[in-house]
Chain A
Amino acid sequence: EVQLLESGGGLVQPGGSLRLSCAASGFTFSSYAMTWVRQAPGKGLEWVSEISESGTRADYADSVKGRFTISRDNSKNTVFLQMNSLRADDSAVYYCAKVKEAAGTDFWGRGTLVTVSS
């Protein structure tokens, strides 16, 4: 059974940092790209970042470029999102998701809440 379990969310002050983790199980982690998608309260889904199977390629939404860094550890079946210089508009539930090539994000974690506030 595929499982994705996010952690690391919480309350942080503007300008602060957080590191999100997503532990994967139930599939061959190193064979799939992984992505982060966020959802602000009462809003729609917003793609944040994606990393290739090997970790050699990383892409970012313009809204987080230069502030967020995605990485993965295939030996630990975990993907990370390092978030720096956080702003109030980064407040959202952050979902980790598995990417199936040419088929979209085919499995989602339950999400972790990030609140940026003083």
Chain B
Amino acid sequence: QPVLTQSSSASASLGSSVKLTCTLSSGHRSYIIAWHQQQPGKAPRYLMKLEDSGSYNKGSGVPDRFSGSSSGADRYLSISNLQSVDEADYYCETWAGNTRVFGGGTSLTVL
């Protein structure tokens, strides 16, 4: 089954941009993933589906500041014009057959 690897933490300044990475394990680099945001004390929120081509489809109400891209086994979530509300944990997710897998999550701090 696929494994998703994320850095445990990231930080960026208010108003700047950040790019978070989710890496698919060997043999799974073509997999579609989803990105989720979890603000402190809240349930996760679906951000987007992201394909290996870099094509992405965002969920309802997700701001234009959020975008996705891909390169090989890496799937990226980019956030521009960072706001304080973007300080959250970000998880990637994928699925294969009879299992669903989440990455360990990246905790984003907005400085």
Contact = CB atoms under 8 A, between A and B. Distances in A.
A67 interface: no
Interface of A is mostly: strand
Contacts of A35: 100
A104 B44 contact: no
Contact of A105 (B46, B99, B103, B104): B46
Interface residues of B, number: 25
B21 to A, nearest CB: 16
Contacts of B38: 45
Interface stretch (B11-19, B22-30, B63-71, B90-98): B90-98
A32 interface: no
Contact of A108 (B45, B95, B101): B45
B43 A109 contact: yes
Contact of A44 (B46, B59, B100, B105): B105
A46 B44 CA distance: 12
Contacts of A107: 46
Interface in B54-111: 57, 59, 89, 91, 93-95, 98-105
B16 to A, nearest CB: 26
Contacts of A80: none
A89 interface: no
Interface residues of A, number: 23
A95 B94 CA distance: 17
A103 B34 contact: yes
Nearest to B59: A106
Which of B45, B100, B101 neighbours the largest number of chain A CB atoms within 10 Å of its CB? B100
B20 interface: no
Contacts of A100: 49
Given A102-B32, A103-B57, A108 B105 contact: no
Contacts of B34: 103-106
Interface of B: 32-34, 36, 38, 43-46, 49, 57, 59, 89, 91, 93-95, 98-105
11 contacts: A35-B100, A37-B102, A44-B91, A47-B100, A102-B49, A104-B34, A104-B36, A104-B46, A105-B44, A106-B59, A109-B43
